[in-house]
Amino acid sequence: MCTGKCARFVGLSLIPLSLICIVANALLLVPNGQTTWTKDHLSLQVWLMAGFVGGGLMVLCPGISAVRAGGKGCCGAGCCGNRCRMLRSVFCSAIGLLGAIYCLSVSGTGLRIGPQCLMNSSWDYHFQDTAGSYLLNRTQWNLCVEPPNVVLWNVTLFSLLVAASCLEILLCGVQLVNASIGVLCGDCRKKQGSSQ
């Protein structure tokens, strides 16, 4: 596969993943679809906005850059233009890789610690000392009185962020290598009008 076609495929895969991360982080801000607890009772991992900033915006940039690197855009014609777009994609992919790693680490921590919830008349991170074992014991999930279903809400959305950020790390890494090859070797696509 040519570096241009590979870049386009990676970019078109990164864009929906980044949008999934943005939506998942937005949903984490409204546990159980209600804004009642948003002001004082959300976990730190939700407020760090790893899905919005890290897995979202920081990966959306390399996704768009990779699509442009795979096309025949207006950033110069011929070999030099393609190499310029690939070089920009190298830098954007490195930023996206950092963003996806940030999203993975914060989301993984959010899963391990668990949500802040009301249990036994106190708001706290009640699952923090379980080292993530609460994930396998669904009967403990109902011990959180408020917000209702917050454990299921957090586990589902943080798991989605972990899975999406793992794919983003893989794709940004592939694009980093692909774009580096594109800068050094150029694109293998034939120019229009050339004989086949």
Buried b vs exposed e over 51-61: b needs ≥16 C-beta within 10 Å? Answer: bbbbbbbbbbb
| Residue 120 included in any domain | no
Instruction: Establish if 138 belongs to a structural domain.
Output: no
Looking at residue 119, what is its pLDDT?
79
pLDDT in tens, 42-56: 888 888 999 999 999
Summarize the confidence of residues 93-99 as an average pLDDT.
93
Flag whether 139 is in a domain: no
Least confident of 39-48, 51-60, 154-163, 185-194: 185-194
Report the predicted TM-score, pTM, of the whole model to 2 decimal places: 0.84
Count of structural domains within the chain: 1
Collapse the DSSP code of 146 into the 3-class scheme (helix H, G, I; strand E, B; otherwise coil) and give the result: strand
CA distance 73 to 57: 22
For the record, the structure tokens of 79 come out as 């070999």
144 is a domain residue: no
DSSP string computed for 65-95: HHHHHTTT-SS-SHHHHHHHHHHHHHHHHHH
| Cα dist from 52 to 28, 95, 137, whole Å | 11, 14, 29
Tens of pLDDT, residues 110-140: 888 888 887 788 788 777 777 777 888 888 7
Assess if residue 71 is contained within a domain. yes
Residue 67 domain-assigned (yes or no) = yes
- The whole domain housing 76 covers 2-114+157-185
| pLDDT tens-digit map of 176-186 | 988 888 778 76
Is 104 within the bounds of a domain? yes
pLDDT, position 84: 77
pLDDT number for residue 187: 62
